[in-house]
Amino acid sequence: MRVVAALGGNALLQRGEALTAENQRRNVRQAAHNLAPLAREHQLVISHGNGPQVGLLALQGSAYAEVEVYPLDILDAETEGMIGYVLQQELGNELPFEVPVVTLLTQIEVDPRDHAFGDPTKPIGPVYTSEQAEQLAATKGWAFKPDGESMRRVVASPAPRRIFGLAPIEWMLDRGAVVVCAGGGGIPVAYLEEAVPAGRRLVGVEAVIDKDLASAMLAGDIGADVLAIVTDVEAVYLDYGTPRQRAIRRAGPAAIAALEFAAGSMAPKVAAACAFVERTGGTAVIGSIADAARLVSGEAGTIVTPDARDVELAAA
């Protein structure tokens, strides 16, 4: 089978952990260990989040006042290379030497008129106290929204329209490579009408695309059989975090889309799973990185499939 595994930010950094290279490598090493069985059995594409990393680079860049902070499209590209390198190395340590693992910096087109530019919602970077957020908003012009009891910077998150580089991805998969691409939702770009030979110019955009929606588009574009959205919980839950929480075992896309989930965490994952299933008729599954192989085999997680109409809860 052809599988796209979309790694959540927890694969690189646990909530509350310091953004050190050592912490990230330790988490990636464990993620690679869990993903290796999939790479041995299937054609595997890996995407990943980058929210903490791109936010940290922006914060580090702002400390050097001699030049303007690099725009988000450049920071997105930097994090794709950085995270891809660590994933390549740790997966390579898990797989036979002859299995190539490659990273492709992936440009993804967005609409510069997308309404998201007027309503930033995508969280990036570390969490702050209210006092810290107010100071940064005043000095840097950043936007912030609540994240639990803390505050977090938010930026525009336009919808992906088109992924560049699909042919090289398929070429590498057909030759046995594991491909890491569309990291952090890809590098956001847009076309501007200009007086150049092509009649338009491709430029970077100050935004961060949602990783799960980009992964769903990627999975559909390359004909994946399964989209596995990997996070730090075992399944999608009703009433999550309460004594009444119940895991969803199986659901049709329309049924699960009608439910409400947290906007900053599970909602985009469910939306991405539904988008993939409705577009392709394939299967999407949401669950824990520790269960990666069992997610793809249908033994764990929340399965979204066109074969199901209602929401089926896991046995108590």
Phi-psi region of 52 (alpha: psi -120 to 50; beta: other; left: phi over 0): alpha
Q: 18-27, 128-137, 156-165, 259-268 — which one is most confidently predicted on average?
A: 156-165
Helix locations, the chain, DSSP H = 21-41, 51-62, 72-94, 130-140, 166-174, 211-221, 253-257, 266-280, 292-296
Annotated active-site residue 9? The verdict is yes
23 catalytic? Reply is no
Share of the chain above pLDDT 90, in %: 63
Specify the range with the lowest mean pLDDT, choosing from 56-65, 246-255, 272-281, 306-315: 56-65
Beta-sheet pairing, 162-163 with 107-109: antiparallel
Which among 8, 10, 183, 252 is annotated as catalytic? 10
State yes or no: is 10 an active-site residue: yes
| Catalytic-residue membership of 49 | no
Q: Which of 8, 9, 51, 84 is catalytic?
A: 9
Domains in the chain and their CATH numbers? 2-224 (3.40.1160.10)
122 carries an active-site annotation: yes
The residues with which 44 forms a beta bridge, in sequence order, are: 3
- Please tell me which residue in 49, 50, 122, 287 is annotated as part of the active site: 122
Confidence of residue 1 (pLDDT cuts 50, 70, 90): very high
- Specify the higher pLDDT residue, 233 or 15: 233
